[in-house]
Amino acid sequence: MADFSKQWCDANDPDMPHDFDIMEIFNRLSVNAYESWICEGYGFGAIANVNGECMLNMPNGKWVS
């Protein structure tokens, strides 16, 4: 089953219920920690707190903020 973040749903299909919230996950992470989360809409595979900045891991292996 595909999972979609709140942020993707808000931007692309506001009537679609979301499965998780990127910022809720980021806010509970310790600095320099990450959790594996897949958003089928944006295509990322992890959410990280890198020195206090929210970063997403994309399929090409690059991290984006």
Among 38, 58, 56, which residue's Cα sits nearest to residue 47? 56
Q: Please give the order of strands across the beta sheet that includes 63-64.
A: 33-36, 46-50, 53-57, 63-64
Q: Is 12 helix (H, G, I), strand (E, B) or coil?
A: helix
Q: What is the pLDDT of residue 56?
A: 97
All structural domains of the chain with their residue ranges:
6-64
Q: What is the pLDDT of residue 61?
A: 85
Q: What is the pLDDT of residue 19?
A: 97
Give Cα 46 distance to the centre of its chain.
Answer: 6
Whether residue 65 contacts residue 53, with contact meaning beta carbons closer than 8 Å, is answered with yes
The segments of the chain whose pLDDT lies below 70 read: 1
Q: pTM score, two decimals? A: 0.91
Q: What is the pLDDT of residue 1?
A: 65
